[in-house]
Each structure stands twice: as C-alpha cells, then as structure tokens.
Amino acid sequence: MVCGAKTLEDGHIVTMVPKLIQNDLSWMKDIPELANVEHRFICEIPACISSPCLNEGTCKETVIGFECICPENFYGATCSCPVLHTVNVGTTRQYTFPGLAVVPGMTSFDFEVSANNDAHIGLSRSNEEDVGYMYEIAIGGWENTGGAIRRLREVYEWDETYQNHPATLALTGKPSYDHYRISFADGHIILYRYGNDIPLMEYIDPDPQQVNYVGIWTGFGSDGYWKFPSLCV
C-alpha cells in the first residue's frame, strides 16, 4: 500500500504510512483456512512524528504503531526505564533500594538480572534494609551452584530454605540476562523462571510480612545489571 503526503497545521509536510485498521480481523491468521485473508490498512500520520522514545531511543514505525529501539542503559516501551547497576560489594551484603515500590494489590513481579553469581533481591516493608521484617531471594549463590529464600530475623541471622539446584539456580552470566518472576502473596515467597509455572524455590512464612519495596545487591566477585518491567512507572 502506497500512501501520499499530508500538510500539518504547522505547515510541515509528512509522508503518511500504512497502519493496520484497529478492528481488523487479525485473529484469522491463527486459523489455517483463513490465514491468507488480506488485512485492511489505512494511511495515517507516522506515530514517530511525536518523538515518543525517550533517552535517545530510536523510533521505528510498525503497522500497529511504533517500536522504540533503546540504548543499552534503558528499556521499556518508550525507553523510560533505566537499567540498574549494582557493584560488587564483596561479603558486606550491602543492599541498594532504588525506589522500586510495590503498589497496593500487587502480589508478584518479574525482573531480569545479568550477573555471574550472587544476585540478591530483598523484599522489605520500608525503603531500606529492615531487620526482622524482610525477605531475601538469593540466586547463583555458593559459587553459582544454588540459591535460597529466607527471612531476616536479626543482623545476618536467617531462617532459611536452602535448595542446591545447579541446573535451575545457576545464573547464565554476563552479558546475558536471566528472567524470573517472584510471587509473595501472604508470606508465600516463590521464585519462577519467567513464563514457567514450576517453582524454582519457595518459602512459607508463618508470620507474613508486608512487602512495599524491593532492594538489590550483588557480591562475592560479581556486579550486576537489573531490569524491573513490572515496577518501572
């Protein structure tokens, strides 16, 4: 389909682009005998003309709107979400709380992490390490051979469930990202591979704690890079 040009109110002339009609019967493609039905298009002003991509993202037209190609340090539909970096803190167990807030009613979120070992997520009721009221999910610990879900009782004393499963809890390593989902309803903490409903680890707290913020740290020789699509607003 070839589209013509249009003069905007500010005098600029733009070349129109074909877009799939929103109420098109696109679901037909999943039915073999209807797969070759021709779609209907309409000429519209390019979606990229409004510069929707932030942080130097590149806008690419698609038949249903636009796609942002983000620079290395950002992600999200409009490149608005920064990739978080945690340094190697060695054995000091120093959490960073970058303002990742759990909204009321949320009981799970997904995240991606790129690290060689020892990536830790903290679930806290406050925007800081909260001794006695915080959960920790450790992935790629013990020299990248296992992981743990545990409740912080006192300073560095833990009530923990340790599961040593090298095949499922070892991190792939930088620069690759591993994608997970954490569920935490009513003190039942479960770690999954994203898109898989089989738990990697789980822990049930008989005294469930409120989860309002998420903290992160990496150590024991590795730094890390993090993405939190569910929590980036």
Candidates 62, 42, 39; CA nearest to 52 is 62
Q: Which helix (H) or strand (E) holds 111?
A: strand 108-115
Q: How many domains does the chain have?
A: 2
Sign of the torsion formed by the C-alpha atoms of 172, 82, 68 and 230: positive
Confirm whether 78 is domain-assigned. no
**Domain range enclosing 41:** 5-70
pLDDT tens sequence across 31-65 = 565 455 556 788 888 999 999 999 999 999 998 89
Say yes or no: 205 and 106 in one domain.
yes
pLDDT tens per residue across span 68-117: 999 999 999 999 999 999 999 999 888 999 999 999 999 999 999 999 99
75 within domain boundaries = no
Query: Quick check: helix, strand or coil at residue 30?
Result: helix
Beta-carbon contacts of 36 under 8 Å, excluding residues fewer than 6 positions away, are none
The domain that contains 141 carries what CATH number?
2.60.120.200
Cα angle 124, 130, 131 (rounded to 5 degrees) comes to: 130
Whether residue 54 lies inside any domain: the answer is yes
Q: Determine the pLDDT at residue 39.
A: 63
Q: Which DSSP helix (H) or strand (E) runs through 81?
A: strand 81-82
142, 181: one domain? yes
Residues 102 and 160 in one domain: yes
